[in-house]
Amino acid sequence: QVQLMESGPGLVQPSETLSLTCTVSGFSLTSYNVHWVRQPPGKGLEWMGVMWSGGSTDYNSALKSRLSISRDTSKNQVFLKMNSLQSEDTTTYYCAREGNWELQYWYFDFWGPGTMVTVSS
C-alpha cells in the first residue's frame, strides 16, 4: 500500500541547515509528484515545494532562496534541505503524494505522519 514517512533530526541549531528525507513505498517517484508542506504549532498549512515526477522542482517563492528538493529514485526517497534556519522554522514538516483524476484535478491523496523540527540552541 502507499506510504510516506518523513525522517529528520528533530532539533536544529539556529542558522544551521535542515535535512529531511521522505521515504515512500507503494508507488514510483517517476509516476507521482511529491510535495512538502509545513505547519507551525497551532497554525495552518504552508506549501513549500514539489518534486515533479519528471524530476524538476518548484518552490514557494518565500522560501526559494533557502530551499532545495532532490530525490533518489533508486531508494524511493525525496530530500528537503533548507538553510539558515530560524525559530519561525520550528514546525511539523509533511511530505505528500499528489494524485490526480484524469489529469484534470490534482490533490494530495497520501500524507506522511509528519516530523516535528525545533530550531533552538
State the nearest-atom distance from the C-beta of 77 to another protein, in Å.
18
10-46 CB burial, b ≥16 within 10 A, e <16:
eebeeeeebebbbbbeebebeebbbbbbbeeeeeeee
Closer Cβ to another protein, 65 or 101, answer by number: 101
Cell, residue 22: 521522505
In the bound state with another protein, the residue whose beta carbon lies nearer, of 79 and 108, is 108
Which residue's CB is nearer to another protein, number 72 or number 109?
Answer: 109
- Asked if residue 33 lies in contact with residue 53, where contact means CB atoms within 8 angstroms, the answer is yes
Chain positions contacting another protein, by CB under 8 A: 35, 37, 44-47, 50, 58, 60-61, 94, 96, 101, 104-109, 111-114
